Structure 1
């Protein structure tokens, strides 16, 4: 049924439906939860590290709220990730040179979009990819 709504929005020349944005926020929340679990942090521990309530973090992880940039930065710091990685998960273009399609995000986007991978497999594959790219960049 959502495909029908997508078609209607395309035909009317409107912005993409809110459901696609909600899906992106949900994916961001799942990514944050997976990263937190891999770091073996409880919600309360991460709340203390980020100065964000555990209830709000839980809502972010469940895709119920879109976090602000400040909250994303705090979460990234707690999870020892770059803010750019979380911004990319949130669907914001973070290319340093302002051009769409820089190498790292496009590779990571392909990994994230692969329906054959579980969230844990995506996270592991992206981590391995980043470890190789990080060693050879700069």
Structure 2
């Protein structure tokens, strides 16, 4: 179910017009229509929270439907690093996290050095790729 369908179904369930929802959420009825018809792909958090309050549903529930909160079955790495795209990227992050957890005694300076080394490696890899 899309965000728009979810909002529309709840609004209809409450016998509420778009105008009334708009007034309660402090947005225009046109904006309500755009959200319900999925023309507005990603409404702001402020708007979604106002809509949730107007529809008497928990804000977290609506934000989850909108994709702001992942479902509970989303792997931790995917939640922490939503920009990862390939299985190898996920594997690499998991291996780095595992290495850090096994070496929890590293001090702040060691961790800063590690970060700088990773940044240098990424820059070298990009240059290498660009020169091909």
- Deviation at 1:94? 5.8
1:101 maps to 73
1:62 maps to 37
Provide the TM-score with structure 1 as the length reference. 0.49
Equivalent in 46, 53, 57 of residue 21 of structure 2: 46
Distance in 2 between residues matched to 1:94 and 1:76, nearest whole Å: 18
- Deviation at 1:92? 2.1
- Deviation at 1:101? 3.2
SS at match of 2:57: coil
Distance in 2 between residues matched to 1:71 and 1:46, nearest whole Å: 12
**Cα-to-partner distance string for 1:103-138 (whole Å, 9 max, x where unaligned):** xxxxxxxxxxxxxxxxxxxxxxxxxxxxxxxxxxxx
Q: Relative to 1, partners in 2 of residues 1:80 and 1:94: Cα closer, same or farther, differing over 3 Å?
A: farther
8 Å Cα contact 1:50-1:74 kept in structure 2: yes
The structure 1 segments of at least 4 consecutive aligned residues displaced by more than 4 Å after TM superposition are none
Provide the TM-score with structure 2 as the length reference. 0.51
Greater Rg, structure 1 or structure 2?
2
1:92 maps to 68
How many residues are paired up?
Answer: 73
